């Protein structure tokens, strides 16, 4: 009787992680690496700036003993890599240092001024999208016509004219000459302190509290700078919308839809525009991020108490903690918006997956 060969023991394989888990882990690793690079850049900027951080804290009249003590307390006597580790640890705990100019933690200052920038950039983006998308679609549909030529001129002006010049001209015409809008600032002097800052968004807080006079004053102040930012956003959004629509309108499925007898409205908005919505989402996210980080000149011209004015004023006062803290916040928002738009693009478009 022959012995049967023993069956080999089944090999145990480690279960592989689901595909979405691996993608999520890769995305989180990419976010962490990008933010770490951002922190490294801001850290090195603070070290190469020709400003003594010790003198910025204790002043120029301090004694040598006070200087050396503060030098050790700030960790400047440690190796550069150790200083960077301390900086990263502080940022992760929300500790961005203390502002020399205001005497308050930088995180508190940023929480106070950021809602003004958020409100201005959000309204500007809405204006740019609501005007730029229809203009870009119309320019693609009537390619070479007067609508297309007008869209090109509008976009050219938006890209070539300096924003500070347009801001000054806007104040001169609409505020100084016509009186259609209010001047610099966020709200009229007679309405300051009337609205309780619950969300930090002045228009929303005034609406929630029923302060209609304050809402009207805030709207009159924000409409010009938001319209200016919206114009720049519209120039970018309309140009990209036109480019996307031209590609879709030349596709074969559009010709097939027209042969079937569909109306031009159904062809343009029901078919062609549906296929560029995901691409437009990325464009709008980039435009929004650019307005959040690029509204510095606008805030200075209109005396808008946002993060751009805060960083500029802090830079002039050699307050590097505030400058670096604001830079980290804006850079983090820009990175997160880019990654969010990329994730939404992959989620909404099967071809990207």
Q: Is the pLDDT of residue 243 over 80?
A: yes
Q: What is the pLDDT of residue 123?
A: 92
Band (61; pLDDT cuts 50, 70, 90): confident
Q: What is the pLDDT of residue 6?
A: 54
Residue the block writes with tokens 């592989």: 16
Cα distance between residue 166 and residue 302, in whole Å: 12
More confident residue, 350 or 259: 259
CA 149 to chain CA centroid, nearest Å:
30
Q: What is the pLDDT of residue 135?
A: 92
Torsion of CA 143, 230, 212, 204, to 10 degrees: 110
CB 109 within 8 A of CB 99: yes
More confident residue, 285 or 31: 285
What is the 8-class DSSP label of residue 75? T
Cα distance between residue 160 and residue 163, in whole Å: 9
Q: Which of 59-68, 96-105, 168-177, 249-258 tops mean pLDDT? A: 168-177
Residues with Cβ within 8 Å of residue 89, at least 6 apart in sequence? none
CB 326 within 8 A of CB 310: yes
The SS3 assignment for 98 reads strand
What tens digit of pLDDT does each residue of 105-156 get?
888 899 999 999 999 999 999 999 999 999 999 998 888 888 888 888 888 8
CA 33 to chain CA centroid, nearest Å:
19
Q: What is the pLDDT of residue 196?
A: 85
Cα distance between residue 279 and residue 281, in whole Å: 5
Percent pLDDT > 90 in the chain is 11
Cα distance between residue 280 and residue 125, in whole Å: 13
Residue 105 phi, psi (nearest 5):
-60, 140
CB 157 within 8 A of CB 232: no
Q: What is the pLDDT of residue 219?
A: 92
Give the pLDDT mean for 151-174. 85
Beta strands in the chain (DSSP E): none
What tens digit of pLDDT does each residue of 42-57 get?
778 777 776 666 766 6
CB 132 within 8 A of CB 238: yes
What is the 8-class DSSP label of residue 266? I
Residue the block writes with tokens 């228009």: 203
Give the pLDDT mean for 259-275. 83
Q: How crowded is the C-beta side of 236, counted as CA atoms within 13 Å?
A: 19
Q: What is the pLDDT of residue 223?
A: 92
Give the pLDDT mean for 80-108. 82
Q: Is the pLDDT of residue 67 over 60?
A: yes
Give the pLDDT mean for 91-106. 82
88-97, 228-237, 335-344: least confident range: 335-344
Domains and CATH numbers, the chain: 19-92 (no CATH), 106-352 (1.10.3720.10)
Q: What is the pLDDT of residue 210?
A: 87
181-185, 253-257, 294-298, 320-324: least confident range: 294-298
62-91 burial by CB neighbour count: b if 16+ within 10 A, else e? eeeeeeeebbeeeeeeeeeeebbeebeeeb
Give the pLDDT mean for 193-199. 84
Q: What is the pLDDT of residue 5?
A: 53
Q: What is the pLDDT of residue 1?
A: 46
107-111, 152-156, 171-175, 315-319: least confident range: 315-319
Residues with Cβ within 8 Å of residue 322, at least 6 apart in sequence? 99, 100, 101, 102, 106, 109, 310, 311, 314
What is the 8-class DSSP label of residue 105? B
Q: What is the pLDDT of residue 160?
A: 79
Cα distance between residue 307 and residue 295, in whole Å: 9
CB 311 within 8 A of CB 96: no
What is the 8-class DSSP label of residue 176? I
């Amino acid at each position: 009787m022959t012995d049967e060969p023993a069956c080999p023991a089944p090999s145990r394989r480690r279960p592989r992680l689901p595909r979405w888990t691996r993608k999520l882990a890769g995305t989180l690793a990419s976010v962490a690496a990008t933010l770490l690079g951002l922190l490294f850049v801001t850290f090195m900027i603070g070290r190469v700036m020709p400003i003594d951080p010790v003198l910025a804290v204790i002043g120029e009249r301090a004694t040598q003993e006070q200087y050396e003590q503060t030098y050790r307390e700030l960790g400047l006597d440690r190796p550069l890599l150790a200083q960077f580790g301390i900086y990263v640890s502080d940022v992760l705990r929300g500790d961005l240092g203390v502002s020399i100019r205001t005497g308050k933690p930088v995180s508190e200052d940023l929480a106070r001024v950021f809602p003004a920038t958020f409100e201005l950039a959000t309204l500007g983006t809405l204006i740019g999208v609501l005007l730029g998308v229809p203009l870009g679609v119309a320019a693609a549909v009537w390619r070479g016509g007067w609508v297309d030529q007008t869209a090109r001129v509008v976009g050219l002006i938006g890209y070539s004219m300096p924003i500070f010049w347009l801001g000054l001209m806007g104040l001169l015409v609409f505020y100084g000459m016509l009186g259609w809008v209010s001047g610099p600032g966020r709200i009229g002097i007679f309405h300051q302190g009337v609205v309780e800052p619950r969300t930090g968004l002045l228009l929303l807080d005034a609406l929630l509290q029923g302060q209609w006079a304050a809402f009207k004053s805030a709207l009159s102040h924000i409409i010009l700078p938001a319209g200016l930012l919206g114009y720049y956003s519209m120039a970018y959004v309309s140009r990209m919308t036109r480019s996307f629509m031209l590609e879709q309108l030349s596709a074969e499925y559009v010709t097939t839809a027209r042969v079937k007898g569909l109306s031009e409205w159904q062809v343009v908005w029901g078919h062609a525009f549906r296929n560029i919505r995901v691409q437009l989402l990325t464009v709008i996210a980039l435009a929004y991020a650019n307005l959040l980080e690029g509204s510095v000149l606008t805030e200075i011209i209109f005396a808008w108490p946002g993060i751009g004015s805060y960083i500029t004023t802090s830079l002039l006062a050699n307050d590097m903690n505030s400058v670096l803290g604001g830079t980290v916040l804006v850079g983090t928002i820009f990175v997160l918006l880019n990654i969010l738009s990329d994730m939404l693009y992959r989620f909404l478009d099967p071809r990207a997956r």
